[in-house]
């Protein structure tokens, strides 16, 4: 077949595509002719195809019959720590798209006319989302080789043979603009090759772990109209329909790494979790005095970071995997759906991904590299919760396993010595109807209920059930206050009991079982979470003892100077049994 005939057939087929269907290029914004429907159009040019194609003297080596001058710009490609593909400068069909969409080449700069095509006072695309510029770091990566090796290396994208039309790679097996966009057909808006409802287009290539059962994939929650529209770049109205685009923007994203809608990590979550889409208002919790301060850090968290946090920070995604999170319930210590699919640290200090138990998540920041120092300086322990909760300890709250004590008479009826609890049973947002989890609280250490750590909290009240509940309501969510009062007043008495309380003698986490230098110490003395607050009970200045087991005594200080020097030590003697 002669070249002229080939050109005629190709141009004829292109002309047919222009008029096929109501959503052809003629009725789209890519019709830049004077009769085009968009606001960006030529002053007088009536041809539709000429802005990109010409039947004669087209650009050499560029198909199909390319008429547009190509940008000579150098681009900044997308990159991230989790990117396995090798992304270089745009090529193939992508560089053709960029001849308009990078804003460096005049819209009317065509090969077929030395004078070009006039767009009135407009030269290039205006500065808006369709003008991508030359910085493509905030756009989905393009012009990279997508082969079986990459798919295997990534693990969460499909093999090339599983990508089905209309999504496609180019002839060189590369991902290009044309993999997702058809410049001649705007049937699905934004010139997409197919509908992206429920992120169907994204899922043509991506195969994220857990996604099919995630709440972000299945929830039919809608925006109530308050605050900022969480789906400002989408026409869909439910969480499930927006799917990936709840958090991601494929072009001109606010946050470059992983093309997030917003540069500050938490804003991508708070946009829905402020009571305007999700039922619970997490944003309100983050304004409280004690909180996991996600607003205090930006750009530190990284998807590829180690499970043990070495650089102090906290972000929503440290505890929640947005591709996995769901409403599945569980029993302690098994991980709930809210925290499914995240990494953590096990009892031996090793990384585990994904976690099996909730406490493994907490150990990321509260074990070998404590992010927060203890509020109370204890006789033993340095704030490593992994060690405090170890099941080899003399005593511990039953976070990892049932406790060591065979009898705990103060437990409320719903609990027993075989019960296990979550860290989040104590640490969580306070107030009726508050969302689950330790987001924010008015109470110390993000506790659900108050827990008094003052040196002498019982001043003015003395030891009685009412005073106990008012100072330590947290403890009495599980323990019977009347039983606790009876046990302690039968064992301890005197001046001492009028001033002190739970925190003085008991560590709410656990005691690692090591014996200190405080004389007269035996492991049995530290059963039942006994681990003294050293601002109240400390080694005796005379004999160096903190406790005196044979004489059933501990040594406490009431009249110490603020500097920690001087003062009068008192020997308090237990009078009952079981000390």
Q: Which residues have C-beta within 8 Å of that of residue 540, sequence separation ≥ 6? A: 546, 555, 569, 571
Is 75 a member of any domain?
yes
Is 231 a member of any domain?
no
pLDDT of residue 549: 62
Residues 391 and 518: beta-carbon distance below 8 Å: no
Is 501 a member of any domain?
yes
Whole-angstrom CA distances from 113 to 57, 58, 65, 87, 88 are 11, 11, 15, 34, 32
Q: Which residue has the higher pLDDT, 525 or 138?
A: 138
Q: Residue for token digits 């492991």?
A: 523
Residues 110 and 53: beta-carbon distance below 8 Å: no
**The total number of structural domains that make up the chain:** 2
pLDDT bracket for residue 564 (50, 70, 90): very low
pLDDT > 90? residue 22: no
DSSP state of 106: -
Q: Residue for token digits 């599945």?
A: 328
pLDDT > 90? residue 8: no
Residues 240 and 232: beta-carbon distance below 8 Å: no
pLDDT > 70? residue 182: yes
pLDDT > 80? residue 104: yes
Phi/psi region, residue 173 (left: phi>0; alpha: psi -120 to 50; beta: rest), is left
Is 487 a member of any domain?
yes
- Residue 18: CB atoms within 10 A of its CB come to 14
Last residue of a domain, one of 158, 187, 216: 187
Asked which of 13-17, 430-434, 522-526, 529-533 is least confident by mean pLDDT, the reply is 13-17
Residues 87 and 78: beta-carbon distance below 8 Å: yes
pLDDT > 60? residue 439: yes
Is 101 a member of any domain?
yes
Residues 314 and 265: beta-carbon distance below 8 Å: no
506 — phi, psi (to 5°)? -115, 130
Kind of pairing, strands 547-548 and 440-441? unpaired
pLDDT digits (tens, 9 = 90+) for 207-227: 999 999 999 999 999 999 999
Q: Which helix (H) or strand (E) holds 7?
A: helix 3-18
pLDDT > 70? residue 521: no
Instruction: Find the domain containing 98 and state its range.
Output: 1-142+176-187
Q: Which helix (H) or strand (E) holds 548?
A: strand 547-548
What is the average pLDDT across 40-52?
96
Q: How far apart are CA 95 and CA 82, in angstroms?
A: 25
DSSP state of 336: P
554 — phi, psi (to 5°)? -125, 160
pLDDT > 50? residue 90: yes
Q: Which helix (H) or strand (E) holds 285?
A: helix 282-285
Is 358 a member of any domain?
no
Last residue of a domain, one of 187, 215, 242: 187
Is 336 a member of any domain?
no
Secondary structure (3-state) at 222: strand
Is 24 a member of any domain?
yes
Burial of 53 (0-12, 13-18, 19+ CB in 10 A): buried
Residues 261 and 271: beta-carbon distance below 8 Å: yes
């Amino acid at each position: 077949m002669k070249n002229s005939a080939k050109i005629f057939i190709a141009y004829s087929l292109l002309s047919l595509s222009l008029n096929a269907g109501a959503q052809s290029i003629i009725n789209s914004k890519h019709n830049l002719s004077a009769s085009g429907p968009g606001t960006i159009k030529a002053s007088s040019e009536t041809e539709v195809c000429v802005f990109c194609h010409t039947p004669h003297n087209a650009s050499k080596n560029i198909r199909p019959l390319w008429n547009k001058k190509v940008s000579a710009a150098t681009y900044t490609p997308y990159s991230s720590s989790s990117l396995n593909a090798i992304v270089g400068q745009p090529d193939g069909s992508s560089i053709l798209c960029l001849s308009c969409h990078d804003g460096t080449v005049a819209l009317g700069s065509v090969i077929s006319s030395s004078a070009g095509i006039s767009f009135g006072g407009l030269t290039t695309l205006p500065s808006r989302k369709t003008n991508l510029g030359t910085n493509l770091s905030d756009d989905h990566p393009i012009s990279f080789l997508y082969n079986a090796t990459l798919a295997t290396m990534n693990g969460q994208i499909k093999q090339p043979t599983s990508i089905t039309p209309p999504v496609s790679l180019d002839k060189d097996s590369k991902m290009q603009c044309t993999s997702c966009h058809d410049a001649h057909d705007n049937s699905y808006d934004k010139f997409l090759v197919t509908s992206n409802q429920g992120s169907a287009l994204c899922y043509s290539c991506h195969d994220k772990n857990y996604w099919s059962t995630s709440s972000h994939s299945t929830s039919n929650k809608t925006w109530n109209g308050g605050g900022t529209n969480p789906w400002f770049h989408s026409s869909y109205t439910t969480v499930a329909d927006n799917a990936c685009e709840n958090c991601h923007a494929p072009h001109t994203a606010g946050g470059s790494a992983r093309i997030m809608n917003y540069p500050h990590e938490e804003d991508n979550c708070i946009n829905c979790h402020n009571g305007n889409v999700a039922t619970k208002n997490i944003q309100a919790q983050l304004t409280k005095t004690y909180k996991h301060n996600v607003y205090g850090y930006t750009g530190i968290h990284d998807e590829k970071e180690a499970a043990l946090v070495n650089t102090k920070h906290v972000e929503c995604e440290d505890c929640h995997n947005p591709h996995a999170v769901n409403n599945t319930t569980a029993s302690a210590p098994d991980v709930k759906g809210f925290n499914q699919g995240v990494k953590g640290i096990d009892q031996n200090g090793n990384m585990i991904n994904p976690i099996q138990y909730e406490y493994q998540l907490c150990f990321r920041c509260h074990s070998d590299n404590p992010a927060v120092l203890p509020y109370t300086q204890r006789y033993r322990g340095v704030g490593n919760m992994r060690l405090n909760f170890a099941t080899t300890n003399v005593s511990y709250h039953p976070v990892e396993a049932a406790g060591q004590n065979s009898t705990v008479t103060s437990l409320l009826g719903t609990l027993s010595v075989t019960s296990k609890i979550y860290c989040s049973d104590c640490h969580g947002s306070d107030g009726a109807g508050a969302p689950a989890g330790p987001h924010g609280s008015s109470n110390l250490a993000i506790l659900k209920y108050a827990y008094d750590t003052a040196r002498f909290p019982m001043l003015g009240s003395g030891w009685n059930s009412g005073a106990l509940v008012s100072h330590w309501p947290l403890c009495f969510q599980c323990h019977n206050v009347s039983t606790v009062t009876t046990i302690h007043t039968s064992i301890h008495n005197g001046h001492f009991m009028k001033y002190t309380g739970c925190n003085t003698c008991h560590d709410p986490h656990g005691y690692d079982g090591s014996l200190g230098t405080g004389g007269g110490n035996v492991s049995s003395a530290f059963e039942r979470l006994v681990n003294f607050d050293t601002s109240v009970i400390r080694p005796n200045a005379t004999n160096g003892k903190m406790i005196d087991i044979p004489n059933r005594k501990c040594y406490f200080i009431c009249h110490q100077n603020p500097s920690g020097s001087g003062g009068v030590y008192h020997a308090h003697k237990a009078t009952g049994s079981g000390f």
